Structure 1
Amino acid sequence: MKSKPTYQELEKENIKLRKELDENFKIEETSLLDNILRSSTEMSVAVTDIDLNVIFFNPKAEEIFGYKASELIGKNLKEIHVMENVDYARVQKAIDIVRQGDIYDYWVKMDNSTGIRTLKSQVRGIWDKKNELVGFVLFTTDMTEQVDAEKEIKKLSIAVEQSANTIMITDTDGNIEYANPKFTELTGYELKEVIGKNPRILNAKIQSKEYYAEMWQTITAGNTWKGEFCNKTKQGNLYWENVTITPIKDKEKITNFLAIKEDITARKKAEMALKDSEVGLRQIIDLVPHLIFVKDEAGKFEIVNKATAEVFGTTVKDLTGRRDEEFIATEEEKKHFRADDLEVINSGKTKFIPEELITDSTNNIRYLQTTKVPFRFSPTTKPLLLGVAVDITDRKKAELKLQKQNKELKIAKEKAENSKNQIELITNNFVNGMIYQVAILDENKRKFNYVSEAVYALYGCTPDEAKENPDLIYSKVHKDDIHNLIKKEK
């Protein structure tokens, strides 16, 4: 496809045509003139006689003005302007200037079938060999594309100059040829200080040589590179940039490199602060002996602490991002936990589970007391579940042991009660003497644990009264026998 001529090329053709036109009118070789004018493919040529009647209209003029030559040849310019409803005053002004031997240049916008066009026109006189004015010629060039391109270039230039991002252009060796005002604002370097210098003057030496080598290899191969730079200002302050470097090519040959760089210093500081905060939070939750975890709707662990990972016999890193069903030991437990999780997420309500069982990685049963809270993570509003589970296994085992002991004690007590009843039955009905069990507290004190009903007949008190006050019996024993009684009891 033939490329469009440049403005300079059109000007050269214009000058050439005017020169040939002047020469041919002087020698009056009209047939040669006609061939010359019709051969112009990029410039419109319209010729009138001295009375402003159109005598020539080349194909380019037909294209620009939308009329066939046959429609205009022989018509007067005044008549044509009436047809077009155009003010004739400019034509009169041009004629007056040309009659004085000058050239009249002007620009005009015209709306035709292809839209609004921007035209550059020039009116010149045609002089014969006697140097008398015999006609007029109008050269017109359609400058629409060039004007539009210049507008775009100007718009782009303003955008680059006013961009909130640093924009830099280097040669193929990486030496700076241009940098916009944002560069100066960010780095502290004036443009004149860095022209011809390599951007490595900004290098803070935080990133490795290999990092920059990979970048250079990418762009010199004709590919776009994206990454981050940690640089330093003229004053030595560090700053971060998000960078895109693109090769500029002319017919596949790299002529320059364009770098567009966004200042992300504030973001990087926030990320670093967040990372420090996350490290601190990680240390805190890993110190907590309770199970702490965050899961999504699919049961995938988003966050877990060390205690949770240990229950499943794995690490925090390995457990994070994986689904709970990969680690839960039994199908029954999988169904139980899944049902509870979905209930909390779907209902949006907190659930407290006083006691639930989980089989750990060593196949031991653990008792948990769990609270599950629904929430949404703010950046994505993704529905999640926060769980905190207290391991109550030791407490539960102690409770079970106590329950077992209480049960055994109850059984023993019932057996003892039965034995007591049997003894009382025998002693009360078949033994005439008193049967008793005594506890010796010291040399002078006694306490009855058991006394048969015969005590009433012998000592005149009930068994309960004897147990309450042993002296009711010992006070009635003869003083000479008390020593023998005590000796026998011992």
Structure 2
Amino acid sequence: MNLKTTNTSNLNFKKKDGESFPGYLYYQPIVKNKQLLGLNCLVLDVSENKQIEYKYKRNQQRLRKVLDLVPHMIFLKDGNGNILLANKACADFYNTTTKQLVYSNIADFHKSKSECEEILKEDREVISNKTELFVKSVVRTDLSQNIHSFEATKVAFTEPKSKKTHSLGILVDVTEKKRVEREIEETKEKYRLLVERGTDGIHDYSNPNHCFCQ
């Protein structure tokens, strides 16, 4: 029987016991002598499909909340720089939203051409070799031309259904850590020079117990 379907998938029907359920309505007109005598109807219960859809959406929302709570940049990209997944930390870095960032290209937001080429090279290396890449210090420039230092980890991620491999990465901003490390090294160097060049003892007035003598 060649049935037609209504345009909507949100129809609710009732069983004999009064319980309602979502379903699709399929129908076929009964025509005789060009007169409509009635309809042959078939209702398909899609309760189970709706439950699966609901669970899928709920899991997606849960995953999104978890990703956005992570303060580090998390992303999933293909070998052409197309962004398939990004969390709030990524969006904040590019002064945009996750909705605008996902399904765009990294070149649309990252304005440093040389850094874009470096990012793409790393992603393609991870994807082609299906391996892991750890970079202790990478430099990335934001839209305000502020330079940030990151520790980057990228791994190959293969989708179960399509079998396509992408680059899954996490970038930890270590800009402040690097700044503190530089200040400590500079302070050590100053003390070293003072000790080497000084003829008298050097006293640390911030701590009465610290005295450096040559």
For residue 285 of structure 1, what is the amino acid of its counterpart?
L
The equivalent of 1:342 in structure 2 is: 124
Counterparts of residues 447-486 of structure 1 (less than 5 Å):
none
The equivalent of 1:226 in structure 2 is: 7
Deviations, residues 7-58 of structure 1 (Å, cap 9, x unaligned): xxxxxxxxxxxxxxxxxxxxxxxxxxxxxxxxxxxxxxxxxxxxxxxxxxxx
**Deviation of 1:303 (Å):** 1.6
**Could you say which structure has the larger radius of gyration?**
1
The structure-2 alpha-carbon separation of the partners of 1:384 and 1:406, relative to structure 1 and needing over 3 Å to count, comes to same
Are residue 401 (structure 1) and residue 183 (structure 2) matched? Answer: yes
The equivalent of 1:287 in structure 2 is: 69
The structure-2 alpha-carbon separation of the partners of 1:249 and 1:305, relative to structure 1 and needing over 3 Å to count, comes to farther
The structure-2 alpha-carbon separation of the partners of 1:261 and 1:306, relative to structure 1 and needing over 3 Å to count, comes to same
**Deviation of 1:258 (Å):** 4.5
Work out the CA distance in 2 between the residues paired with 1:252 and 1:318. Answer: 54
2:113 to 309, 331, 334: 331
Contact 1:224 1:247 in 2 (8 A): no
Are residue 239 (structure 1) and residue 21 (structure 2) matched? Answer: yes
The equivalent of 1:306 in structure 2 is: 88
For residue 237 of structure 1, what is the amino acid of its counterpart?
E
* 3-state SS of 2:7 partner: strand
For residue 263 of structure 1, what is the amino acid of its counterpart?
D
Contact 1:248 1:257 in 2 (8 A): yes
* 3-state SS of 2:8 partner: strand
The structure-2 alpha-carbon separation of the partners of 1:386 and 1:255, relative to structure 1 and needing over 3 Å to count, comes to farther
**Deviation of 1:340 (Å):** 0.5
Work out the CA distance in 2 between the residues paired with 1:297 and 1:337. Answer: 10
For residue 242 of structure 1, what is the amino acid of its counterpart?
Y
Deviations, residues 320-379 of structure 1 (Å, cap 9, x unaligned): 111111111201110010001111111111211211111123221111111112122223
The equivalent of 1:363 in structure 2 is: 145
TM-score (norm 2): 0.81
The equivalent of 1:316 in structure 2 is: 98
Contact 2:148 2:175 in 1 (8 A): yes
Structure with greater contact order relative to length (CA < 8 Å, sep ≥ 6): 2
Contact 2:6 2:24 in 1 (8 A): no
For residue 385 of structure 1, what is the amino acid of its counterpart?
S
Counterparts of residues 364-443 of structure 1 (less than 5 Å):
364-416=146-198, 419=199
The structure-2 alpha-carbon separation of the partners of 1:300 and 1:328, relative to structure 1 and needing over 3 Å to count, comes to same
**Deviation of 1:319 (Å):** 0.8
Deviations, residues 397-434 of structure 1 (Å, cap 9, x unaligned): 11122222233333333322xx57xxxxxxxxxxxxxx
* 3-state SS of 2:162 partner: coil
Work out the CA distance in 2 between the residues paired with 1:298 and 1:254. Answer: 57
Q: How much identity, in percent, do the aligned residues show?
A: 27
Work out the CA distance in 1 between the residues paired with 2:34 and 2:123. Answer: 59
The structure-2 alpha-carbon separation of the partners of 1:224 and 1:407, relative to structure 1 and needing over 3 Å to count, comes to same
Counterparts of residues 52-451 of structure 1 (less than 5 Å):
225-228=6-9, 229-245=11-27, 247=29, 256-416=38-198, 419=199
Gaps of 5+ in 2: 204-212
* RMSD after superposition: 2.8
Higher helix share: 1
**Deviation of 1:246 (Å):** 5.2
Gaps of 5+ in 1: 1-155, 161-166, 168-222, 421-436, 440-448, 451-490
Work out the CA distance in 2 between the residues paired with 1:248 and 1:302. Answer: 49
Contact 2:94 2:143 in 1 (8 A): yes
The structure-2 alpha-carbon separation of the partners of 1:397 and 1:247, relative to structure 1 and needing over 3 Å to count, comes to farther
The equivalent of 2:210 in structure 1 is: none
Higher strand share: 2
Work out the CA distance in 2 between the residues paired with 1:365 and 1:308. Answer: 15
The structure-2 alpha-carbon separation of the partners of 1:241 and 1:384, relative to structure 1 and needing over 3 Å to count, comes to farther
Work out the CA distance in 2 between the residues paired with 1:254 and 1:334. Answer: 65
The structure-2 alpha-carbon separation of the partners of 1:266 and 1:328, relative to structure 1 and needing over 3 Å to count, comes to same
Deviations, residues 254-301 of structure 1 (Å, cap 9, x unaligned): 554444443321121011011111112211111111111112232222
* 3-state SS of 1:380 partner: coil
The structure-2 alpha-carbon separation of the partners of 1:275 and 1:224, relative to structure 1 and needing over 3 Å to count, comes to closer
The structure-2 alpha-carbon separation of the partners of 1:224 and 1:277, relative to structure 1 and needing over 3 Å to count, comes to closer
* 3-state SS of 2:17 partner: coil
For residue 6 of structure 2, what is the amino acid of its counterpart?
W
Work out the CA distance in 2 between the residues paired with 1:333 and 1:246. Answer: 61
Deviations, residues 417-464 of structure 1 (Å, cap 9, x unaligned): xx57xxxxxxxxxxxxxxxx9x9xxxxxxxxx68xxxxxxxxxxxxxx
Work out the CA distance in 2 between the residues paired with 1:325 and 1:253. Answer: 62
User: Number of residue pairs matched?
Assistant: 203
Contact 1:226 1:245 in 2 (8 A): no
Deviations, residues 185-219 of structure 1 (Å, cap 9, x unaligned): xxxxxxxxxxxxxxxxxxxxxxxxxxxxxxxxxxx
